[in-house]
Structure 1
Amino acid sequence: MKTQKILYKGGEGELIEKKSRFIATTRPVESEEEALAFIAEMKKKYWDATHNCSAFVIGDRQQIQRCSDDGEPQGTAGRPMLDVLLGEDIHNMAVVVTRYFGGTLLGTGGLVRAYSKSVQVGLEASEVIEKRSGFLLKMAADYNGIGKIQYILGKKGLPTIASEYGADVTLEVLVPEEEEKGLKEEITEGTSGRTVYQEEKAVLYAILSDGTPLIEELPQ
């Protein structure tokens, strides 16, 4: 896997369309059971709503895909909602769009647009992150070489996860998979071969909206 978009933090967005109120609630899910439990939770919370339509996608290849119109005309709610998730290429998330009928019929096209737009509003209120393949690269250099290394890392915008200052300086750096080889070559050349690479761990990582790295080590 090079990159994968997932829902990191769920949210809630609201849309008014011809006096009908649409509430989109999103939730990260790892299994169909989790998704179904979330949908049941929303139906209980909004028990008095006209409809609680839903869609979810689960798996590295979005293997599990389900949707429900929950009483709306067939194909006007659940499928358009699912199409938004697939179009955004998001994995492991569920969304429920709750509708309180406002007294004015929207028609087939109007329903499709309203439910699709509601999911977009729900996503805007959520935090979607992109997980990438990469490495945690641990390296040591003398004090003369560390300035050059930090310059190279800064130029590439690569975050230092940990540092230790002793007789030499040890850095642990988060590196995208596609940049690992080139980075090592540039650092080796820039420090005249005096950098020692101590450890390299394969990881999946993402950068959160506040700039914090989220790192998941892969099994060796």
Structure 2
Amino acid sequence: MLFDDTYRTIERPCEGIFRDRGSKFLAFAYPISNEGELKEILGKLRSEHPKANHHCWAMRLGIDRSVFRINDDGEPSGTAGRPILNTLLSKDLTNLVVIVVRYFGGTLLGVPGLINAYKAATEEALKKGAVIERTVNDIYTIQFDYLQMNDVMRIIKEDNLTIIKQEFDNNSIIQLSIRKTQVNQTVSKLNKLEGLILRYDHSL
């Protein structure tokens, strides 16, 4: 099987709401690229909804979609985080977190009711989000002499690379995003330029 360097995620944050017997389930979906972002988003929602009874969530990360975490935040085990995650799995989405904020309405919904509510709220949010396909890219930084600028720029143009940031001085630095499936081809071209320093940063 060829390495698949594309994945599906949402373009921008979106939200949905589901109500059942007085309880209100507010779902917030956010595209993320690392686990650190989750803490910030969760903190923001907790401060915006301090009176909510639960802030349950599921997160999925990575191109092989193997990294995931769920949190029931006090709901019966398996009734909140798992149905949120299952919705992400069924829609084949990754690199996102969905947090469902619940306001209890006084009537217990029971296990099937909770599972359905968390799933339905997640679906409502995702319906509003534009699903996009992204490619997995490796980020490289290249350092070169200003005189090599034309050669470097020619390769960037030929291989249709995205420049993330650049600094031009006697010693020029460009940070590039290279699609995973074309890394070898681009790196071998760059390595042919004498004196150029190429450094792998991380994947995105």
TM-score, normalising length: structure 2: 0.65
2:6 is the alignment partner of 1:48: no
- 1:41-78 CA distance string (max 9 Å, x none): 21121111011101110111123200110111111001
Residue number in structure 2 paired with 1:201? 159
Tell me, in whole angstroms, the C-alpha distance in 2 between the residues paired with 1:81 and 1:203.
Answer: 36
Q: Displacement, 1:3? A: 3.7
Instruction: Tell me which of 22, 26, 42 is aligned to 2:25.
Output: 22
Maintained 8 Å contact 1:14/1:24: yes
In the aligned structure 2, how far is the partner of 1:64 from the partner of 1:42?
23
Is residue 106 from structure 1 mapped to residue 109 from structure 2 by the alignment?
yes
Q: How far does residue 93 in structure 1 lie from its aligned partner after superposition?
A: 0.3
Give the corresponding residue for 2:121: 118
Cα distance in 1 for partners of 2:123, 2:104 equals 20
Which of the pair has the greater relative contact order for Cα pairs under 8 Å at 6+ separation?
2
Task: Report sequence identity in percent.
Answer: 35
Alignment of 1:1-220 (within 5 A): 1=4, 3-131=6-134, 201=159, 218=179, 219=183, 220=186
Unmatched tracts of structure 1, length 5 or more: 134-198, 205-215
SS in 2 for 1:90: coil
Confirm or deny: 8 A CA contact 1:10 1:127 kept in the other structure. Answer: no
Q: CA deviation at 1:108?
A: 0.3
Contact 2:52 2:103 in 1 (8 A): yes
How far off its partner does 1:79 sit?
0.9
Structure with higher Rg: it is 1
Partner of 1:169: none
**8 Å Cα contact 1:11-1:26 kept in structure 2:** yes
Runs of 5+ consecutive residues of structure 2 not aligned to the other structure: 137-156, 163-176, 187-204
TM-score computed with the length of structure 1 as normaliser: 0.60
Coordinate RMSD, CA, aligned: 2.1
